Chains A and B, each alone.
Chain A
Amino acid sequence: EADIYQTPRYLVIGTGKKITLECSQTMGHDKMYWYQQDPGMELHLIHYSYGVNSTEKGDLSSESTVSRIRTEHFPLTLESARPSHTSQYLCASSASGTGTPPNYGYTFGSGTRLTVV
Chain B
Amino acid sequence: DAKTTQPTSMDCAEGRAANLPCNHSTISGNEYVYWYRQIHSQGPQYIIHGLKNNETNEMASLIITEDRKSSTLILPHATLRDTAVYYCIVRTLNSNSGYALNFGKGTSLLVTP
Cα–Cα distance between A88 and B51 once the two chains are bound (Å): 32
Question: In the bound complex, how far is the Cα of B51 from the Cα of A43, in angstroms?
Answer: 24
Q: Which residues of A are in contact with B by a Cβ distance under 8 Å?
A: 31, 33, 35, 37, 39, 42-43, 45, 48, 50, 58-59, 88, 90, 92, 94, 97, 101-111
- Which of B11-19, B20-28, B71-79, B99-107 lies at the interface with chain A? B99-107
Residue of B whose beta carbon sits closest to that of A88:
B41
Which of B93, B101, B104 is most buried by chain A, counting CB atoms within 10 A of its CB?
B101
Q: Which residues from chain B sit less than 8 Å from chain A, CB to CB?
A: 32, 34, 36, 38, 41-46, 49, 51, 91, 93, 98-105
Residues of A within 8 A of B42 (CB): 108, 110-111
Identify which of A42, A105, A111 contacts B46 (C-beta below 8 A).
A105
Given contacts A59-B102, A108-B42, 19 further A-B contacts (CB under 8 A): A35-B103, A39-B41, A42-B104, A45-B100, A48-B99, A48-B100, A50-B99, A58-B100, A101-B51, A102-B93, A103-B49, A104-B34, A104-B49, A104-B91, A106-B44, A108-B44, A108-B45, A111-B42, A111-B43
